[in-house]
Structure 1
Amino acid sequence: MTTAKELLTKMRLGTSVAEFDEDLENYFVRTNVFHEFINGRKDIIAGDKGTGKTAIFRYLNKNFSLIEELDGKLLIAAFNPSGSPIFSQLSDQNIINESQYSSLWKLYIFALVGNTIIQGDTRLEGSQLDLLLKALGVRIAIPSPKNVFGTVLSRLPNFFHWKSAELSMTISESGIPIIVPKIEFADRDEKGSSSDFVSPEDALAILDRTVSESGQEIWVSFDRLDEAFHGQPDTEVKALRALLRTYLDLSDLEAIKLKLFLRKDLFRRVTSGGFVNLTHINAKKIEIIWDEEDLLNLLARRIRENSDFSTTLGIDNADDQAIFDRIFPDQVDLGSRKPKTWIWMMRRIRDGNDSKPPRNLIDLISHAREAQIRKEDRQTRDFTSSPLIEPDALRKGLTQLSQSRVNDTLIAESGILSLEIEKFRGGKAEHNATSLSYILGTSEDNVMAAIKPLRDIGFLEETGGTFKIPALYREGLEVTQGKAFQDDGNPEDDD
């Protein structure tokens, strides 16, 4: 007879963080978002944290040459996939406006792509592109994103006052053409430039022509942008607005395409207050949305990857729902008004914006599995028809999930809002205008404006005229179910 612990040790779900999941491609799902992206119909993928933006990039990066639709294309990562984000260095630079940031992004893209293609094709050494890179002081032997970005930053003062660049040609005594780069840097108060000179945008055109002549198309991808400017909201907004502007400016290039992976909340912040040609950006943007059926399928796919586990449990040919029902109890809390286990999970992995990231589901079940194994260590049982993971283990898994999301997401990424969030610690889950004004120290007339940022990040959600803290964050903040105000006796919703 197989014990429950033996089965649980065979049950592996992978890691919820794509950067660390070595088995990602085994259960990666080629969704509509993926197909729209690889076919070039969409360039910007937006999603909440934990919804799979980085998973798409990692899968593409590893399998790019094997995907038929991407034949003739080259993917260049403009960021470092691990370690400290290279763009965080921008916070230390004296850049004052979006125009300067846009110049920086263009020069970085020019240097990164230019050096990369020369490294891959030595015939380009001595070309116009090669000479221009050298003249700008950004010709780099090993063009990693970190090396290129660091070099571009070191040249920053001159780049901001780049008046012109030209490539002059003379003929040697033997009749051989000699191309000489010439760069001019303008004084701070100097205006204008001669139309005879090659502008920075023309430098990108030279790069685009060089790539086009090679028969390739290059995709320059940007990810981890939400990590790059942590604690620097002004820098974040200016830099990323400029990156979106650069995306629009480069959209006319034939062989160089920018591909952006952005958090939805970050995209909203960056474009709030107006953004010229936002409709053009939205037309090329697609959002990652996970329906509950998608999440169940994702979970089942990961479970099926455990062939030994699936065979022992007898679920080799089972459908998604049957797999779930074989592992989990029918209900976590018994009662006619209590939800089924799957609904219980869905209500507890969501935030106030109704975002249900796969990361939360995988973490919840992984924590529950660990809690169940600890119980089996204390009291071994043979597995028959009872749930493999029991209700108490799921409750303990939720506690760990809530503590993690409060600490690693809600508090860690909310900046100054973390002070407001902490005011709710140890209180009740449901509030009205009166209780909110008391907690936040503001008038009832101003309370809607005061809680808007908290609603935007999914910490509060409006339900029937009151505001609730989602179950996802309650245990992590020691918040208990119930109303923080006196009521007329209406029954509380059963969460």
Structure 2
Amino acid sequence: MISAALHEEPRQKTSQALVMHTCEAKFSISGATMSQKLEVLKKLEIGERVAEDEADHLENYFVETDQWQQMYAGEIDVVYGPKGSGKSALYTLLTRKETALFDEGVLIAPAENVMGATVFRAIVIDPPPTELSFIYLWKLYCLALAGRTLREYGIAKEESRALVDALERAGLLPAKGSLSTFFRAVSNYLRNWINRDVASVEYGLSVDPNTGIPALTRKTEFNKETEAQNLGDIPVDELFEIANRALELSGLRLWILFDRLDIAFAGSPDLERNALRALFRAYNDMKGLRNLSLKIFVRNDIWSRITEGGFTEASHIVKAIDIAWSPEGLLNLLVLRLLNSPALVDYLGIDPDEVRSSYEKQRELFYMLLPDKVDTGKNPDTFDWIVSRTTDANGQPVPREIIHLLESAKNIQIKKLERGGDEPDGTQLVDRASLKEALPVVSKVRYEQTLLAEYHDVKDYLQALQGGKCEHTITTLSQIWREDEATTVEVAKRLVEIGFFERRVSGESQTFWVPFLYRGALDLVQGRADA
């Protein structure tokens, strides 16, 4: 059992003192063998970097935060957060809770694949010509998803039957197929509508003013119209009202989920801006529907880009949360994942419920498995070291890189024990050397698979810093990049925006500092570069 003496200490005890006290505590296991530690390590699953890759296990150790509770209750429509903060975990878990939500009268319709190729890749090749047409694209796609859901669940109200029939006959609702099939059908419908001419025979959607029931109409005469007039002929808002009424009469709500928007438009900033501004405008237009709503998960750096220069609709988005992790929340997340391992629970002889009930017990558990410090002397304790080493220059710690670091350290430790290396002290499963060796692994993956993959336009500037110091002035950067001062300032500003550089100001001077997270990938060393 975890030492009861620790829990009698005042809760105001400092972080460092708590660590030291933990190390002195007497545990029920005093002589775990190397084979026992190796067995526990091999059975220990801390998690994957990407939520989609651990979908089958996510429910077992997902931290049901207040943010999750608000989302599950339908109180939140828009979720902002840094990359790796857990937006996709929320999205993935909502899709996994489909049955439980149905029992509470909520239907789920993902608008994007949880993993694999993005549904919206066709947009990059042939995007709608204007933001207005983009708004109609999103609305028609949501309408098709609503029709598909009504059909799949057999909601047999007069309104839903008529809506599904009209959408099918208009070609907006294929009989079957993937999300990509549905999105392609919507894209083709909109493209044909925009490009119609007076010589064509066009089938369209309308709403009977007397009955309020949707129907398919045949149009053969078209006047020269503005884009707004042309698209305005599609009664999409009226059709949403019909879908909403069908859901209301059935006692149901429908949530249409949008995620992975950073992947959909990666490398196309102008397209990303047009597409996402249009999506949020469509969201605002649909806010009046009580039983049909969009749930949008978006990175806050992308949100900053699309709202730069002003975006009136932003002030109308009130059902939103911003995911932010405190050190306490991150430690809680890790411990709950650790407690999901029966082998670890047996190894320590602990009561998982007792640990879950107290943050102090969670911290004590953490330091039963890891050393109190990675670097000796007046350096931070291990958990603070992990957080500082896995946070980019924006200063917002996220679970993804922390999980990756501990998972990598675990794998390194397993290899050491398998070849007969020294085992960690006491009850510890991972030693400080393994944690240090894991950091370059995390740095390389973050740098190559996240930073360069998304911001390939700055690759040459980043690579030019290879093997140098971690802190620069505009002068040293200008020399390394062989650019004039004005260009250097713009590039440095860009690297600050994407979290590679931290801008530090002292009086009238400024320097640009690379966080620990990226140093290993570029072999950077501590200190300021000389001009």
Both proteins in one fold, TM over 0.5: yes
Aligned match of 1:142: 176
Q: CA deviation at 1:358?
A: 0.5
Aligned match of 2:496: 455
Q: CA deviation at 1:187?
A: 5.3
1:401 to 423, 426, 442: 442
Q: CA deviation at 1:198?
A: 6.6
CA distance in 1, matches of 2:528, 2:220: 65
Q: Does 1:484 align with 2:529?
A: yes
Q: Superposed, which structure 2 residues align to 1:197-212 within 5 Å? A: 199-212=235-248
Aligned residue pairs total: 476
Aligned match of 1:32: 66
Aligned match of 2:397: 356
1:43 to 72, 77, 97: 77
For 1:20-73, what per-residue CA distance to the aligned partner results, in whole angstroms no more than 9, with x for missing partners? 2122111111112112222333210111111111111222222244359x8222
2:43 to 3, 7, 10: 10
Kept in 1: contact 2:405–2:442 (CA 8 A): yes
Q: CA deviation at 1:440?
A: 3.6
1:428 to 464, 469, 479: 469
Q: CA deviation at 1:202?
A: 1.9
1:166 to 206, 210, 235: 206
CA distance in 2, matches of 1:181, 1:42: 35
Kept in 1: contact 2:85–2:400 (CA 8 A): yes
Q: CA deviation at 1:431?
A: 1.0
For 1:364-412, what per-residue CA distance to the aligned partner results, in whole angstroms no more than 9, with x for missing partners? 0111111111111222556661632111111110010001100111111
Q: CA deviation at 1:180?
A: 5.5
AA in 1 matched with 2:267: G
2:272 to 220, 228, 236: 236
CA distance in 2, matches of 1:265, 1:166: 40
CA distance in 2, matches of 1:151, 1:197: 19
Percentage identity across paired residues of the two chains = 34
Q: CA deviation at 1:446?
A: 5.5
Q: Superposed, which structure 2 residues align to 1:458-469 within 5 Å? A: 458-464=499-505, 465-469=510-514
Q: CA deviation at 1:115?
A: 2.4
Q: CA deviation at 1:123?
A: 3.1
CA distance in 1, matches of 2:206, 2:58: 47
Kept in 1: contact 2:408–2:438 (CA 8 A): yes
For 1:161-216, what per-residue CA distance to the aligned partner results, in whole angstroms no more than 9, with x for missing partners? 6897435699xxxxxxx98620548858324769x977232222222222222221
Aligned match of 2:156: 123
AA in 2 matched with 1:259: K
Distance 1:343 1:189, change over 3 A: same
Kept in 1: contact 2:206–2:216 (CA 8 A): yes
1:87 to 103, 113, 120: 120
Aligned match of 2:362: 320
Aligned match of 1:491: none
Aligned match of 1:332: 374
CA distance in 2, matches of 1:461, 1:324: 30
Q: Does 1:471 align with 2:528?
A: no
CA distance in 1, matches of 2:132, 2:494: 28
For 1:329-373, what per-residue CA distance to the aligned partner results, in whole angstroms no more than 9, with x for missing partners? 1221222x3222122111101000012111111110111111111
Q: Which runs of 5+ in 1 are unaligned?
A: 171-177, 487-495
CA distance in 2, matches of 1:203, 1:348: 52
Q: CA deviation at 1:75?
A: 1.1
Kept in 1: contact 2:444–2:518 (CA 8 A): yes
AA in 1 matched with 2:110: A
Q: Does 1:343 align with 2:343?
A: no
Aligned match of 1:249: 285
Kept in 2: contact 1:427–1:478 (CA 8 A): yes
Kept in 2: contact 1:348–1:471 (CA 8 A): yes
Q: CA deviation at 1:140?
A: 1.9
CA distance in 1, matches of 2:206, 2:101: 40
Distance 1:41 1:127, change over 3 A: closer
CA distance in 1, matches of 2:221, 2:292: 28
AA in 2 matched with 1:11: L
Kept in 2: contact 1:64–1:75 (CA 8 A): yes
Q: CA deviation at 1:476?
A: 0.6
Distance 1:113 1:381, change over 3 A: same
Worse overlay, 56-65 or 74-83: 56-65
For 1:427-473, what per-residue CA distance to the aligned partner results, in whole angstroms no more than 9, with x for missing partners? 21011221123234444456443322211110000234322111000
Aligned match of 1:417: 458
Aligned match of 1:225: 261
CA distance in 1, matches of 2:222, 2:489: 49
Q: CA deviation at 1:294?
A: 0.7
Distance 1:417 1:284, change over 3 A: farther
Give the TM-score normalised by the residue count of structure 2: 0.83
Distance 1:61 1:351, change over 3 A: same
1:297 to 316, 332, 340: 332
For 1:84-142, what per-residue CA distance to the aligned partner results, in whole angstroms no more than 9, with x for missing partners? 00111101115221111111111111111112202321635893313321342123222
SS in 1 for 2:286: helix
Kept in 1: contact 2:409–2:430 (CA 8 A): yes
Aligned match of 1:74: 107
CA distance in 2, matches of 1:2, 1:157: 68
Worse overlay, 380-389 or 130-139: 380-389
Q: Which runs of 5+ in 2 are unaligned?
A: 1-31, 197-201, 356-360
AA in 2 matched with 1:471: F
SS in 2 for 1:207: helix
Kept in 2: contact 1:53–1:261 (CA 8 A): yes
SS in 2 for 1:252: coil
Kept in 1: contact 2:503–2:511 (CA 8 A): yes
Aligned match of 2:13: none
Q: CA deviation at 1:295?
A: 0.8
Worse overlay, 421-430 or 124-133: 124-133
Q: CA deviation at 1:321?
A: 1.2
Kept in 2: contact 1:212–1:255 (CA 8 A): yes
Distance 1:253 1:161, change over 3 A: farther
CA distance in 2, matches of 1:343, 1:485: 30
CA distance in 1, matches of 2:244, 2:106: 13
CA distance in 2, matches of 1:49, 1:159: 37
CA distance in 2, matches of 1:179, 1:420: 56
Kept in 2: contact 1:428–1:480 (CA 8 A): yes
Q: CA deviation at 1:304?
A: 1.0
Kept in 2: contact 1:112–1:143 (CA 8 A): no
Kept in 1: contact 2:387–2:397 (CA 8 A): yes
AA in 1 matched with 2:494: P
CA distance in 1, matches of 2:182, 2:502: 44
Aligned match of 1:366: 407
Give the TM-score normalised by the residue count of structure 1: 0.89
Q: Does 1:62 align with 2:90?
A: no
SS in 2 for 1:466: strand
